[in-house]
Structures are given as C-alpha cells and as structure tokens.
Amino acid sequence: MTYMMCMFMFGLILGLIVVASNPSPYFGALGLVVVSGMGCGVLVGHGAPFLSLVLFLIYLGGMLVVFAYSAALAAEPFPETLGSRPVALHAGLYSVAVLLGGGIFWGGWYSSSWVTVDELVEFSVFRGDMAGVALMYSAGGWMLVLGAWVLLLTLFVVLELSRGLSRGTLRAV
C-alpha cells in the first residue's frame, strides 16, 4: 500500500508540474484532471473513498466549466505542447525546485507514518469516512445542493459568455 501511495504522490507532483509549466489551456486541463485523480487516489488510500468520489465528481464538473470557457476564448491553432522547449525548460526548473524542497524537508518524513485506515482494521469500529458521509448528508446536505446549483449556474454563464454575438464558439478571435 505504501508503494501505491508513493505512486499517487508522484503522479500528483508530476501533474502539478504540468499545470504550472504549461501555457496552453488544453494541456493545463489535462494536468488538472491528472492532479484531481491522483489527489483522490491519496484520499482513497487514507480511508476516505466516499469523500474522494464526491470531490472527484465536483472537481471534474468545475473543471469542465473552466475548460469550456478557456477553450472557447483562447482557441489557438498551434498550442504549445508538453514537449516544446519553453514548456520543458519550465518543467525542469519546477522539478529541480521540488527536489530541492524535498531534500530540505526530507528528515521529518518516514514511510512508517503512511499507515492507512485499511491496515488498522483490528483497531477501528467502522471505516474512516462513514461518519463523514452521515454528517455530510444530515448537516451539510444544503451545502451539497448549493454547490450543485452554483456549478449549474456557472455552466450556463460560461456558455452564454462563450456564445458571442449568436455565432457560437466557432468564431475568429
């Protein structure tokens, strides 16, 4: 399980580097999807599968709105790819910064502290996120409804903004 958590954390850092170093909205959106997937994988590994599913669905819903908006307004005929020279230079600089930061703070991290909820079955009465599910639906249900309503309203606003003067999203910018 520790190896899986290391892979999720490595994918999370790699996705963050892709998001930070890429000027094109298409590849930035791809990096955000990778980051959300890996972050939710870390949450699943630490015993919160329902919270991970809810965050993943809400985050990808918001990401879809942002991607539609940015793709409609910043449509480039030849976007910068992940292998182009400036993007690779920025990604290399960010990787060096992450390695230096990891080297500075390496002394306090130990793999024995990465024990997940599933590995402590004999000490737990129920799963790690079951109490949170009940609380989210009882006390926080109105917040879920409000969040869904805001995402739907944002989707309509973005579609109206990207429509232009009744020409749709396929227009010369």
Question: What was the pLDDT predicted at 93?
Answer: 94
Question: What was the pLDDT predicted at 95?
Answer: 93
Does the reported pTM lie above 0.85? no
Residues 96, 82: Cα–Cα separation, whole Å: 17
Per the prediction, the chain carries an average pLDDT of 76
- pLDDT (tens digit, 9 = 90+) per residue, 90-116? 999 999 999 998 888 777 666 555 655
Question: What was the pLDDT predicted at 121?
Answer: 58
* Angle of the 49-73 helix axis to the 130-138 helix axis, nearest 10: 60
- pLDDT (tens digit, 9 = 90+) per residue, 4-62? 888 998 999 998 898 888 777 777 777 888 888 898 888 888 777 777 888 888 777 77
Question: What was the pLDDT predicted at 111?
Answer: 57
Contacting residues for 82 by C-beta, under 8 A, at least 6 apart: 18, 22, 27, 88, 91
Tokens (6 digits) for 121: 């079955």
Residues 143, 139: Cα–Cα separation, whole Å: 9
pLDDT over 80 (residue 73): no
Buried-state track 61-80, b at ≥16 Cβ within 10 A, e below 16:
ebeebebbbbbbeeeeeeeb
Q: Where are the domains of the chain?
A: 2-163
